[in-house]
Chain A
Amino acid sequence: MTAAARPGTAALFGIGGALLVVVAAQLVGQFQLAGRAWPPLTDVLAYVTTPAGSGLLLRNGLVTLTAAAQGLLLGVVVAVFGAALALVVPMLRPGFERFAAILNAFPTIALAPLLITTAGREDTPMVIAALSVGFVMFVTMTSGFANVPAAHSDVLTVLGSSRVQRLVRLELPRAVPSFFDGLTLSAPAAILGATIGEWFGAPKGLGLLLVSAMQNYQMPLLWSAALVATALSLAAYIVFVQFQRIAVRRFG
């Protein structure tokens, strides 16, 4: 509404909102309104700044980030290739579309424990991240490819271009904004996927830290691990939103 119309006011409101959350979280912790499980934010921050705490968070955060990044790369490559294949071979298309709906609803937790026994404890977070990303990217890319105006496609066909030429000259450039849309959704999905994989007995990572801190009632550690996971997810999202803006300006 009016707040959104004035960017200065909107920014001010945003900062106010963030402050409100921080103060509220601190007060709830201070007065133990939610019991001992909700520590004051200052305690959490104090834990993060201790050398032991920051070392632990940094090491495990890096493990999760690496798994998520590798998974992101793998998932994106496979999904884009699959969506392009469905486009070039039209016979595959209805099947692939139906499959995309199933993949979209697939609960990744269903695979995690099964992957532990086959892919191994180390690789499972990366594989789960790749799967989560792959599902999201496949769905956005199929809809991105389908979004090509029939007239453009007809012109190229009449001029005698093959399906592959149409893919390279028309459908791929048209799908660039969808690609970046998919990436903004994929970045948090990769972090989530990696942490799900780590829940099921990975040797390192934020997911492991979260579960063990919960079981051992280490509240500052639990909260700071959650903060780091959120920060990673949010940072990845913001970075890809910037890419998306550039892409929309160039190809949109």
Chain B
Amino acid sequence: MAKTDFGPPDFRELIPPVIKENYGKWKYHEVPQQGVLRHVSESGAVLHSVRMASPRLVSGDFIREISDIAEKYCDGYLRFTTRNNVEFLVSDANNVDPLLDELDDKGYLVGGIGNVISNIVHTQGWIHCKSAVTDASGITKSIMDDVKDYFTGKIALPARCRIAVACCINMCGACHCSDIAVVGIHRTPPRIDDELASKICEIPNTVASCPTGAIKPNPRTKSVTVNQEKCMMCANCTVVCPAMKIMNPAKDGVSIWVGGKVSNARTAPMFSKLAIPFLPNNAPRWPEVTDAVKHLIEVWAVNAKKGERMGEWIGRIGWERFFTLTDLPFTNQHIDDFTTAKTTFRSTTQFKF
């Protein structure tokens, strides 16, 4: 019988001695230059962490290359961040500059700390997901190529800006609470393969999967019907019943949401809200999406006060001003009509023209 249930390797065996010795004793950290963290312990010990961009989807060659680099400059110790960057954990301060030089020579980008655009958190996309409307990796690469100077700190920003990309509204990332969220969407209801549904789908589960109650059993076909006016194209039914076909390459697309955050610093965590309901799914470089993201960053960067994240800036100026400043149209899609709708209606005469 194979060995099971032993859990992951113990992190205590994989941390450098300086972390072992100063675990829980770190006093403060500073950022001597973009991409480098300098943590100082109560004992006076110092650890440098050098943060490098990663494409997240990596090859064995990449794994071996960062391993070799880690061995050369930091006794083999490295980690990944929650936004998929690589961090080399350098105990010997003399190795920081040579490491930075080697990363630069090899074309790796260093940055992602503090008031910058860090790596994009994103989902699997066409690479490995059955429900992907778009390719998250491709959009991520296209956006980051355009905004890399914000990652490296070459261009300053008022605050951090966290971007996420999800290839459908399942949003397998922290997409719904990001400064800028790019989300693949459907705009047409599912088409039903009645014969297939009658054979392989559990009808009660399919009916129950619909958040708006648009799906009803159809005893005649032993399948279901979809009320076209109630359906909001969430695709949840397609997850439980493969006979519901929602993919529509000509009509599916990408939406953009803004102003979310997960941190409690200053203001409470916030959802991202709809800014642009539809942009075309224009592979391989999604120019409409990258232009829109750049535009949102630029308008925010010019207008926000220092320290104001996207959502905090919009909170101060108001959404009506946001739509004016960004010159984005306000459409039917921007008004919520789900169960959460009435929490969004403006019950005050306080607004701006």
Tell whether A pairs with B.
no
